[in-house]
Amino acid sequence: MSIFFTVVMRDLRLAFRRKSEVLSALFFFVVVAALFPLAIGPEPAMLRQIGPGVLWVGALLASMLALARLFEVDHRDGALEQMLLSPHPLWLLVLGKITAHWLLSGLPLVILAPVLGLQFNLSPDALSVLSLSLLLGTPVLSCVGAIGAALTLGVRGGGVLISLLVLPLYVPVLVFGAGAVQALDSGLGAQAHVSILLALLLPALFFSPWAGSAALRIALE
Report the mean per-residue pLDDT for the chain.
86
Please give the residue that has the higher pLDDT: either 25 or 203: 203
Q: What is the DSSP string of 94-136?
A: HHHHHHHHHHHHTHHHHHHHHHHHGGGT--HHHHHHHHHHHHH
Predicted local confidence at residue 158, as pLDDT: 63
Distance CA 133, CA 59 (A): 11
Judge contact between 65 and 101, C-beta under 8 A. Answer: no
How many angstroms separate the Cα of 194 from the Cα of each of 127, 129, 186? 14, 9, 15
- 92-106 confidence digits (pLDDT tens): 889 989 999 999 888
Domain ranges of the chain: 2-220
**Percent over 90 (pLDDT), the chain:** 26
- 56-75 confidence digits (pLDDT tens): 999 898 888 878 778 887 77
Predicted local confidence at residue 195, as pLDDT: 93
What is the band of 136 on the pLDDT scale with cuts at 50, 70, 90? very high
Distance CA 80, CA 221 (A): 12
**Whole-model pTM over 0.85:** yes
Angle between helices 44-65 and 124-151 (to 10 degrees): 30
Burial class (CB in 10 A: 0-12, 13-18, 19+), 213: buried
* Across 180-202, average pLDDT: 88
pLDDT at 140 exceeding the cut of 90: yes
